[in-house]
Structure 1
Amino acid sequence: MSLSIIVPAHKVQGYIRQCLDSILDPDLPNLEVIAIDDASPDGCGEILDEFAERDSRVRVRHLTENVGLGHARNIGLDMATGDYVWFFDSDDYATEGAVRAVLDRLDETRPDVLMFDYARSYWNGKVKRSIINHLFREPPAPDVFTLADRPSLLEMFTSIWNRAIRREFMVEHGLRFNSGYYEDVSITYPVLMAAERVSFLDRVCYVYRQRRRGAITKTASAKHFDAFDQYDRIFAFMDALGPEMDQFRPLMFDRTIWHLLVIIERADRVYPSEKQRFFAEMSKTYNRYKPPGHVPPDDDARLADKHRAIERNDFKAWERLASPRFTAKAKKSGRKVRKLQRQGVVRSKQLAKDRYYQLRRRLPVEEDLAVFAAYWYRGYACNPAAIYEKVRELAPHIRCVWIVKPGGRKAMPEGVDYVVSGSAEYYRTIAAAKYFVNNVNFPDHLVKRPGQVHLETQHGTPLKKMGLDQMEYPVGANDMDFKALIERSDRWDFLVSSNPLSSEAWERGFPCHYEMLEIGYPRNDRLVRATEEERARLRDELGLAEGTTAVLYAPTHRDYQRHYSPMFDIGRVMSQLGDDHVLLLRAHYYYKLKDMAADMGWPEDRVIDVSAHPSVEELAIASDALLTDYSSVMFDYANLGKPIVIYANDWETYKLTRGVNFDLPEFPPGVIAYNEAELVDAFVSRAPWSDAATKNLEAFRARFCPWDDGNAAERAVRRVFLGEKIANPPQ
C-alpha cells in the first residue's frame, strides 16, 4: 500500500519546514510527497528543493504562475503514483506517527475514503481536538461502511485534509478541484457520497493551524460568493448518482445552509455592503435545493426562524435575528473596562504626563518628524543607527530624534538630537512623530495614531526561537506575556529581515500585518564596506599591537543562567594561547559588568573588557577572529570573511531550553569546539584559518548573508521614508 501526500505551497516559508518534517517519516519507503511551488514569491521554492535534494521521496514542481490551491492540487494529483492521496495544507502539520498510522489503517481496510481526526492549533499555543470527534465512536463503527450506514459523516469538517482517498476512485468519478475560496467543498462531500467503502481512524493525525493572518477564507472579499458555485456542483453530483442520493438531500441541504450562514454572519467574510446580495443568493439556493417536505430545524428556534427568513428572502428579518446581543463576552468586556477605570488612580505626576500625552495626540501628526530608538532606549546603536545616518543623507527634510534613558545621554554622539524617556518632550515627540524606528518593541504606553509608520528592524538573525515560537520553551519564554507581545508587534508596518532564515522565523514568531523588508541588515553595511585603513585606526584606538591576534569573544545570553558565567576558564586559555593573542571580551548587554578582567584576575593587557564599547561593528572590524557560542553576531561577522570559532560546550542544553531554528553544529561558520582543550587546540593549530574552515565560512556566508551588499540601509530609507519601490529581496 502506497501513499502520495500532495502539498501545494504559496507564501508559507515560515511553516513549510515543520509541515514536511512532520510528514517525512524516515522508515516509510512507500510514501511520496508531491510538493507544488505555486509561484510562491518567498523562499518556499528553495526550501522545497532543499528537502528534495536530501530525500528522494520528495518531488517538486515549480509553477511559473500562481494557479491557486485547487489547481495546484490537481497538478499534484496528476503527478501522484500512490494508491492513496492525502491533500495537505503547507502551513499545517501531521502529529507524530500519523503518516505511519494512516498507512497501516489503509492496509487493514482498503477503503475508498479513510477519515481521521484533527486538532486546531491556535497562535497562543492552545491545541484543541475537533468538536465532532465523538462521531468516530458514537455509535461504534464497523471497519468499513458507507454513507448510508453513517450519514453523520456529512457533519464532519468540510476540508480535504482530514481524509485519505483512493487515487483511482477519484479518477473514476472525475473528482477534481475547482478554483475559488471553497474548492474543498465540492470534493469532500462527493467522495463520501460515492464511496462504497469508508473507514475510520479514531486518532488526531492532522493539526490545522489557525493563523492570525493569511487565511483567505477569513478575509472580507466578494470571492466568498464562490460558495454558491461549489454547492451547485455538489447537488449536480448527487443528481448524477441517481435516486439513491435522495436519502441524503435533507442533511446535505441543512449542511449547506449552515455553512452559508457561517459565511454571512462572520464579520471577516462578506463586506457589509454585499450582505444583502449574498443573502439573496442564499434564498435562491434555499428554494432551488429545498427537499420536498423539508422542515426547518426544530431543536433551535432561532435557527428555524433564520431558515424561514432565507426562504422568503426577508433580509430585514434575518438582520434582526443575527444582530449581536449583550452576550457574556460583552459583559466580561464591560467588567474589564470598569476594572481599568478603578485602576486609574495613579501617582499624580504620571497622571499629568498621561493627560499631556493624550492632549498632544489631538494635534496633527508632523510629517517630517522621525523617532529612533535601540535596545530599550539604551542609546545610539544597531540597525536604527545605520538607518538614521542614511535618512540624514537621502531624506534631509526629515527631523530625526532619538529616545534614550537618562543614563544613556552621555553616550549619544555629538550632533545627534535626543529626548529623555519619560520627559514631557518625550511624550510630545512620540505623540507627534510620523516615523518610528526601533530594533525592539516600543513600550505599551505608546499609542500608534492613524498615519504613523513603524519600522521594526530586530537586532540579530534568530538562531534561537523568537516570538510565538518561544511558547514551546518555558525557560526561554520566562513568563513572557505573548498576547501583549503580539499586540505590540501589531503596530509594525515594516519588519526588516536579514536573510531567508530570518524571514521564516519572523513569519512564524510574529504573525502580524506588516510588510517584510528582505533587504539585509543595515548595521552590516559598515562591515561590508570596511577598509584596511579603518581597521588599522580602530586597532590603534583599542591599543592592539601590530602582529597580535585579536579575538573578539562575544557569548550570548543563556536563559537558564541568572548571572554571567564564562563557559571556559578565560585566564587559563589565554595563558595557553601565548602573548601574541588578545581577547576582546564583549559580554551580552543583559549583564551589567565593570572591569571584569581585573575582578577575575585575568591579565589586563591580554583580556580587554569591551562590553561598554559603543559599537560592536567597530570591534568586529578591528579583530582578527570571532569566538562566540550562539550569538547572532556570527551572522554579521561572516560578512568580514574572517575566521569564526564556535564554542558549543552546552549546545544540547541550549537547544532544549531555548529552542533553535537550525542545527549549528551541522552547518558551522568555521571551526567548532566542544570543550576547553579543543578550543585551545583550534587557535594553537590555526585551524580557523585552514582551507576547511574557510569553506565552511563561505557556505555559511552564502546561506545567511545573501542580501548584505552594503546597501541595506538605503533600501530601508527608500521604501519607508521615500515611498519608493525596491527589489525585495535584492537582486
Structure 2
Amino acid sequence: MPRFSVIVPCHRVQAYLPECLDSVLAQSYRDIEVIAVDDRSPDGCGAILDEYAARDPRVRVLHLPENVGLGRARNAGLAHAGGDHLLFLDGDDTLTPGALRAVADRLAETGDPDVLGYDHVRTHGWGGTRRDAPAEVLAGAGPDTFTAAGYPRILDLPMVVGNKVYRREFVAAEGFEFPPGCHEDIPWTFPVMLSARRIAALDRICLNHRQRRQGGPLPATGREHFDVHGQYERVFAFLDARPRLAHWRPYLHRKMGEHCLGILAEPDRLPPADRPEFFRRTAELFRRLKPRGARVDGEVAVLEGTWAAYRLRRQAARAGHGAARLAESARQAAAGRARTGWACLHARRSPDPHLVVYSASGHRGLLGDPAAVYHAARRIAPQLRGVWVVRDAGTAALLPPDVERVLAGTRRCAEVMARAAFLVNDVPWPAAPAGRPGSVYIHTHQGTPLKYLGADLLDKPGARLGVDVPRLLRSADRWDHSLVAGRHSELVYERAYPCRFASARTGSPRNDVLVAGGPGDFRRRHGIPDDHTVVLYAPTRRDYRGDGHVDRIDVARFAADLGEGHTLVVRLHPSLAAGPARGMGLTEPARRGVVLDATDEPHLPDVLLAADALVTDYSSVMFDYANLDRPIALLADDWPAFRASRGAYIDITAEPPGHVAYSYRELARLFASGRWRDEESARLRAAFRSRYCEFEDGRAAERVVRTLLLGEPMPAGPAAGSADGRAGRAGVGVRAAGGAAAYSTTRSTSMLPRVALE
C-alpha cells in the first residue's frame, strides 16, 4: 500500500499535463501511486497518460466513457485509490520540489491526522505568482493537531482541494464525495474540515495552482457561477444531517454571503445582463438559510435589501473611493509643497557643519556602511551630530534610545536634510536636496558589484524591470563621493553611473568588523554548539524569473548531506524575504530545526562572522565574506542564463573565490570529500581577495570620518594587497567639497568608454 494516492483528473490540459506529471513523479519521495483520470478529453490527454503509464508503473490510467466533469472525475479516481493519504491535483497544476517529502515528514510528526493543510501559490497566465493563504494562518496553527472548532482560522485557507492531503480511511468512513458543478470544492472542503477530529498544518508552499486565462476548470465569465448557490445548499444539507455541527450555521451563512458578493464584485465573473439575477438568487438563498436569531451586519447586510439598493451602494462606494483618492492626492501634493518650501527656507541658511544625516537600505534602520560610519563618527568626532532618516514609527522604535531619528517624508526630515553639511546613504536618495556649496553627499553602495547596475541595465530589459534608470542617474548626479573597496568597484561605478562624483578609495566601512574577525554573538543567540561547522547558504535573486526565485538547492537535503556536527544557515536575498521563496522550502525545515533561517537578521556581518564556510551563487556577499579568509564555494548551475539575463562585469566561474560546482551533486561531493577547504580553495580565495578587496584593511569607517567628514589627512600605510591578503591604508581619492581636503582625485566623467571589465 503506497503512502500517497495522487489523483489527477484531466480534461483539455494537454499543454500542461506533462509538467504536472513530471512534478509528481520526480519528487524525491517515491512511495506514491498516481491515478490519472482521462475525463473523455477531446485533445491528447489520454495518449499522454498512456505514455507515462508505460514508462512508470506507479501511474494508473482510467479512461472514462463520457465527460463527467472535474468533481465526478475525482470520484472515479478516489474509488481506485489505495494509499494511506489522498492528494488531488488538477492536470494543469504542479507540486513544488520536495513537497511530498515535507508532507510525509509532517504527517509522521503529527501521527497521521485526518487532514493536513499547506500553502500554495497561484501562477497567473501573465506570469505573476501570488502566495494565496494569509501568511499567519498556517504559521499560527502551532506544532500540534487541532480541530476547526479549536482553531477556526484554518477555515481561512482558500477553498482549493489541492492545498490539503486527506487520510483515506477518514474520507471513506465519512462517505465524502465531490458533487457535479464548477464550484465543487465548496461542499467538499467545509464538510471535510468541520468533520475532521485531527487537523495539522504545514507552513510550506507545496502546490503551484495555475490560473489560466481561458479554459480552466473554473470559468472566468459565464452563468456557470450560478452553480455556487446549489453548492452551498449541499453544505447546509450536510449540517442538517449532523446536529452536532449546527453551531457552524451562522459562520457558514456569513461565509456564503461573502463568497457570493465576492463573485458579484469582480467585473469579469458574470455577464452584465446576469448580475441582477445573481444578486436576487443570492439574496433569496441568504434569507432562506439564515439561522434563527442570527445577526446580520457588515458587508453581507446588503443581501437583505434589493438589487437597486446594492447598485446605489456600490456606486456610492466607488464615488467615495474616487473622491478619497483625489483628496489624498491633493493632501499629499499640498504637504509636498509645504515640505519643499520649508526645505528651501532652511536651504538659504548656512549648512550646519556638525550635522550628518544618515539613511540605509531605503530608511530601514542602522544598517550597512552608513551605520559603520555613524558609529565611527560617534567615537572619533563626538562633536558631529548624526540624525537617521527612518521609514516609519515601527522602524524608529527599533533604534537605540540615544540615536536621533526623523521620519521620512515629514517636515522635520526636510529641515534636517536641508541644513545638513553631510548626507550619507547606501542607496540612491531621490529626496536628497540638490548639491549646494558647503554640503557633501557621500554614497557608500551596498556591495562589490558583480551584476550590472545603473546605466548598464539599459541593455538588459528584463533586469531593469521596475528600475527607472534615468531617475537613478539623476540621483547619482548629486553624489560627491562614491566609496569603493577596490579598483574593480571604482571602474564599475564610474561606468554604471556616468556622473560627476569622485571615487573615494576608503574600503567598505561595513566590512571593518570582518577584517578584524571578531567572534560576534550569532552562534550564542541561536544556540549553535561551539564544535559545529556552520555553513551559510546565501543565494541571490534571478532576473529571468518574474518573482526572482528559483530553487537551486533542497536545503533540508543539503543539511542532511552535510551530516552530524554541521549547522546549515540560510539567508535569502532581501527582495525574496516576503515572497514565495521562503514558503517553498525554507519555512518548514527551519521550524523543525533542520536549518536555521537567518533571512531576517538585520546585521549581515553577524551572520558572516558565525559562518565557517559560505555557499553562494552570484551574490555580492562573497566579496564581503572573502575578508574573513574562510572557504567559499559557488553553485553555478545556471550561470549562462543568469549572465544573459542580468549581465555580469566578470566571469565569476573563471575567477572564483573558491571551488565551483555546476550541480547539486558536485556541491555535495565537494563537502563530503573535504575539498571545500583544501589548498586550492585557499589559493583561489587569496587571489580573489587581492583582486577585489584591496582597500579593505579594517579602518574604512575611520578613513571616511577623518578624510570626508573632518577633512584630516590620512597617514600612508602598507601597499594594498599585502602578503596576508589584507589591504594597507590605501590612499583616498576625494573631491574637495564642504571643507574636505583635496587628495589625489579619481573623478567620474560621462565620457568614460564602455569597456568590458572581465
Which TM-score applies when normalising by structure 1? 0.50
- Corresponding residue for residue 696 of structure 2: 708
Alignment counterpart, residue 687 of structure 1, candidates 675, 685, 692 = 675
Check the 8 A contact 1:552/1:626 in 2, yes or no.
yes
The answer to whether the aligner puts 1:670 opposite 2:655 as a matched pair is: no
Q: Percent same amino acid at aligned positions?
A: 35
Secondary structure at 2:633 match in 1: strand
The answer to whether the aligner puts 1:581 opposite 2:569 as a matched pair is: no
Alignment counterpart, residue 538 of structure 1, candidates 522, 530, 545 = 522
The alpha carbon displacement at 1:580 in A equals 2.3
Check the 8 A contact 2:556/2:594 in 1, yes or no.
no
* Residues 485 and 641 of structure 1, relative CA distance in 2, 3 Å threshold: same
Any idea what the Cα deviations from partners look like across 1:579-620, whole Å, max 9, x if unmatched? 322221111111233975664445632311111112110111
Check the 8 A contact 1:577/1:683 in 2, yes or no.
yes
The answer to whether the aligner puts 1:499 opposite 2:486 as a matched pair is: yes
Check the 8 A contact 1:585/1:610 in 2, yes or no.
yes
| Matched residue type, 1:653 | A
Secondary structure at 2:543 match in 1: coil
- Corresponding residue for residue 166 of structure 2: none
Alignment counterpart, residue 386 of structure 1, candidates 372, 389, 396 = 372
Give the Cα separation in 1 of the matches to 2:641 and 2:676: 25
| Matched residue type, 2:676 | P
The alpha carbon displacement at 1:676 in A equals 1.1
Alignment counterpart, residue 590 of structure 1, candidates 550, 555, 575 = 575
Structure 2: give runs of 5+ residues left out of the alignment. 1-328, 717-728, 733-758
Check the 8 A contact 1:462/1:502 in 2, yes or no.
yes
- Corresponding residue for residue 567 of structure 1: 552
The answer to whether the aligner puts 1:458 opposite 2:442 as a matched pair is: no
| Matched residue type, 1:635 | F
1:187-586 superposed matches below 5 A: 347-406=333-392, 407-444=394-431, 446-478=433-465, 480-531=467-518, 534-535=519-520, 537-563=521-547, 564-586=549-571
The alpha carbon displacement at 1:538 in A equals 3.4
Give the Cα separation in 1 of the matches to 2:546 and 2:572: 14
- Corresponding residue for residue 706 of structure 2: 718
Any idea what the Cα deviations from partners look like across 1:116-160, whole Å, max 9, x if unmatched? xxxxxxxxxxxxxxxxxxxxxxxxxxxxxxxxxxxxxxxxxxxxx
1:33-48 superposed matches below 5 A: none
Give the Cα separation in 2 of the matches to 1:538 and 1:600: 21
The alpha carbon displacement at 1:344 in A equals 9.2
Give the Cα separation in 2 of the matches to 1:692 and 1:712: 30
| Matched residue type, 2:436 | R
The alpha carbon displacement at 1:729 in A equals 3.6
Give the Cα separation in 2 of the matches to 1:452 and 1:713: 20
Give the Cα separation in 2 of the matches to 1:515 and 1:364: 24
Give the Cα separation in 2 of the matches to 1:515 and 1:591: 33
Give the Cα separation in 2 of the matches to 1:414 and 1:665: 46
- Corresponding residue for residue 202 of structure 2: none
Give the Cα separation in 1 of the matches to 2:385 and 2:333: 33
Secondary structure at 1:664 match in 2: coil
* Residues 446 and 700 of structure 1, relative CA distance in 2, 3 Å threshold: same
The alpha carbon displacement at 1:625 in A equals 0.7
- Corresponding residue for residue 630 of structure 1: 618
Give the Cα separation in 2 of the matches to 1:692 and 1:634: 17
The alpha carbon displacement at 1:445 in A equals 6.0
Any idea what the Cα deviations from partners look like across 1:496-520, whole Å, max 9, x if unmatched? 0111110110111112212211121
Structure 1: give runs of 5+ residues left out of the alignment. 1-342
- Corresponding residue for residue 641 of structure 1: 629
Give the Cα separation in 2 of the matches to 1:401 and 1:345: 27
| Matched residue type, 2:638 | D
CA RMSD between the two structures = 2.2
Give the Cα separation in 1 of the matches to 2:398 and 2:486: 30
| Matched residue type, 1:561 | R
| Matched residue type, 1:697 | R
| Matched residue type, 2:344 | Q
Secondary structure at 1:682 match in 2: helix
- Corresponding residue for residue 95 of structure 1: none
- Corresponding residue for residue 117 of structure 1: none
Give the Cα separation in 2 of the matches to 1:707 and 1:590: 29
Give the Cα separation in 1 of the matches to 2:535 and 2:640: 25
* Residues 347 and 706 of structure 1, relative CA distance in 2, 3 Å threshold: closer
Give the Cα separation in 2 of the matches to 1:345 and 1:600: 45
The alpha carbon displacement at 1:457 in A equals 0.7
1:125-136 superposed matches below 5 A: none
Secondary structure at 1:714 match in 2: helix
The alpha carbon displacement at 1:436 in A equals 0.3
Check the 8 A contact 2:577/2:600 in 1, yes or no.
no
The alpha carbon displacement at 1:418 in A equals 1.3
Secondary structure at 2:681 match in 1: helix
Any idea what the Cα deviations from partners look like across 1:155-187, whole Å, max 9, x if unmatched? xxxxxxxxxxxxxxxxxxxxxxxxxxxxxxxxx
Give the Cα separation in 2 of the matches to 1:394 and 1:445: 26
Give the Cα separation in 1 of the matches to 2:491 and 2:432: 29
Give the Cα separation in 2 of the matches to 1:398 and 1:369: 6
Any idea what the Cα deviations from partners look like across 1:318-352, whole Å, max 9, x if unmatched? xxxxxxxxxxxxxxxxxxxxxxxxx9996434433
Check the 8 A contact 2:555/2:586 in 1, yes or no.
no
The alpha carbon displacement at 1:628 in A equals 0.9
| Matched residue type, 1:488 | S
- Corresponding residue for residue 592 of structure 2: 604
| Matched residue type, 2:570 | L
The alpha carbon displacement at 1:415 in A equals 2.2
| Matched residue type, 2:337 | L
* Residues 722 and 469 of structure 1, relative CA distance in 2, 3 Å threshold: same
Give the Cα separation in 1 of the matches to 2:458 and 2:696: 31
Give the Cα separation in 2 of the matches to 1:410 and 1:496: 29
Secondary structure at 2:575 match in 1: coil
| Matched residue type, 2:529 | A
Check the 8 A contact 2:417/2:432 in 1, yes or no.
no
Give the Cα separation in 2 of the matches to 1:464 and 1:444: 26
| Matched residue type, 2:540 | T
Give the Cα separation in 1 of the matches to 2:589 and 2:699: 43
The alpha carbon displacement at 1:449 in A equals 3.5
* Residues 445 and 638 of structure 1, relative CA distance in 2, 3 Å threshold: closer
Q: Which moved more, 1:565-574 or 1:627-636?
A: 565-574
Secondary structure at 1:434 match in 2: strand
Give the Cα separation in 2 of the matches to 1:584 and 1:730: 37
Alignment counterpart, residue 617 of structure 1, candidates 605, 608, 624 = 605
Check the 8 A contact 2:445/2:483 in 1, yes or no.
yes
- Corresponding residue for residue 128 of structure 1: none
1:83-232 superposed matches below 5 A: none
Give the Cα separation in 2 of the matches to 1:522 and 1:603: 34
Check the 8 A contact 2:457/2:469 in 1, yes or no.
no
| Matched residue type, 1:497 | V
| Matched residue type, 2:535 | V
Give the Cα separation in 2 of the matches to 1:568 and 1:528: 30
| Matched residue type, 1:453 | V
Check the 8 A contact 1:579/1:606 in 2, yes or no.
no
Give the Cα separation in 1 of the matches to 2:372 and 2:390: 17
Give the Cα separation in 2 of the matches to 1:598 and 1:572: 11
* Residues 464 and 684 of structure 1, relative CA distance in 2, 3 Å threshold: same
